[in-house]
């Protein structure tokens, strides 16, 4: 599998965290289902190869659109490659996707939906990229050109940006009431702005940030790391709280994840 990350153009950096490409074939993953965990980001996904299947918790299998918008994940997403893998992804800052698509982000949370049904104009432009791009690398430049035309002038709410930055700087160990106060908002107003621009409330984003830190600590420690140590380092009340939170966001206990983690999980993990 060839996974690469690409810096956004400076004019898009206030909205886009990075672009990524993935090339390969389902055979390299043995056709196995791959979990992807919440990371606080929405994404645009263009398949130049064969779209993936999404496997729902009920067992229902849904073939993904060739060009889709992935809203904020609130629990794990399970995907299965179906053939040739050639993907271009745009990973937005938590508040960045609101500038690219029309509907409030809360309405798209948990969904992987055809871009054309979310924003028809953006969908038409990205369809042209799919039709003419000869490779994922070619498509990266074309996708950025589309986004420059579509949303480069957008200005995310600086109050939301401030709160997001504090949540991430402190790995979710924050007081939402205090953050709202420093942003000059009531907690209720801050939550409304987050639901519209980010897709989840600030408390949920903080929970995801804490989970992502725990995920890094678990995966990057050479020897098995005691759950109680990870719980303490990440600010959980106790080990039981950590395990419950991990199960909710990852769909399994921490130990089970380390035994069965998928390739896509490693590619799309937050590393900062």
pLDDT tens digit string along 184-219? 999 999 999 999 999 999 999 999 999 999 988 888
Under DSSP, is residue 268 helix (H, G, I), strand (E, B) or coil?
A: coil
- Residue 156 counted as domain residue: no
Number of C-beta neighbours around residue 210 at 10 A: 22
Of 120-124, 141-145, 154-158, 265-269, give the lowest mean pLDDT range: 265-269
Q: What is the pLDDT of residue 272?
A: 59
% pLDDT > 70, the chain: 93
Q: What is the pLDDT of residue 181?
A: 96
Q: What is the mean pLDDT of the chain?
A: 91
Q: What is the pLDDT of residue 220?
A: 79
Number of domains in the chain: 1
- Residue 61 counted as domain residue: yes
Q: Supply the CATH number for residue 88's domain.
A: 2.60.120.10
CA dist 105 and 90 (Å) reads 16
pTM for the full predicted model? 0.91
- Residue 199 counted as domain residue: no
- Residue 42 counted as domain residue: yes
Q: What is the pLDDT of residue 262?
A: 61
Q: What is the pLDDT of residue 32?
A: 80
160 within 8 A of 69, measured Cβ to Cβ: no
H or E segment and range at residue 55: strand 53-55
| pLDDT tens profile 142-158 | 999 999 999 988 889 99
- Residue 147 counted as domain residue: yes
49 within 8 A of 87, measured Cβ to Cβ: yes
pLDDT-derived band at 162, boundaries 50, 70, 90: very high
Average pLDDT value for residue range 217-224: 76
- Residue 138 counted as domain residue: yes
- Residue 265 counted as domain residue: no
DSSP 71-125: ---SS-EEEE--SEEEEEEEEE-TTTGGGTSSS-GGGGTT-EEEHHHH-HHHHHH
- Residue 79 counted as domain residue: yes
Q: What is the pLDDT of residue 260?
A: 66
Q: Residue 264: is its pLDDT beyond 70? A: no
Q: What is the pLDDT of residue 207?
A: 96
- Domain that includes residue 102, residue range: 2-151
CA dist 17 and 244 (Å) reads 30
pLDDT-derived band at 223, boundaries 50, 70, 90: low
């Amino acid at each position: 599998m060839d996974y690469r990350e690409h810096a956004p153009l400076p004019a898009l950096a206030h909205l886009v965290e990075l672009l990524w490409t993935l090339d390969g074939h389902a055979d390299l993953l043995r056709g196995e289902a791959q979990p992807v965990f919440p990371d606080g980001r929405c994404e645009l996904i263009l398949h130049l190869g064969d779209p993936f299947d999404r496997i729902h918790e009920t067992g229902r299998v849904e073939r993904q659109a060739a060009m889709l918008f992935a809203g904020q994940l609130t629990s794990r997403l399970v995907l299965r490659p179906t053939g040739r893998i050639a993907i271009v992804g745009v990973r937005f800052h938590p508040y960045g996707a609101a500038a690219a698509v029309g509907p409030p982000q809360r309405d798209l949370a948990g969904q992987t939906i055809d871009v054309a049904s979310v924003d028809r104009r953006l969908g038409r432009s990205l369809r042209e990229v799919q039709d003419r791009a000869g490779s994922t690398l070619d498509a990266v430049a074309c996708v950025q050109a589309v986004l420059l035309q579509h949303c480069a002038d957008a200005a995310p709410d600086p109050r939301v940006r401030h709160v997001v930055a504090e949540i991430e700087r402190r790995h979710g160990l924050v007081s939402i009431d205090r953050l709202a106060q420093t942003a000059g908002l009531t907690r209720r107003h801050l939550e409304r702005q987050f639901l519209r621009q980010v897709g989840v409330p600030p408390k949920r984003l903080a929970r995801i940030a804490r989970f992502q830190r725990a995920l890094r600590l678990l995966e990057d420690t050479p020897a098995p790391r005691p759950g109680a140590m990870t719980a303490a380092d990440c600010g959980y009340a106790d080990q039981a709280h950590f395990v419950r939170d991990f199960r909710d966001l990852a769909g399994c206990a921490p130990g089970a994840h380390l035994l069965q983690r998928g390739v896509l999980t490693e590619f799309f993990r937050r590393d900062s």
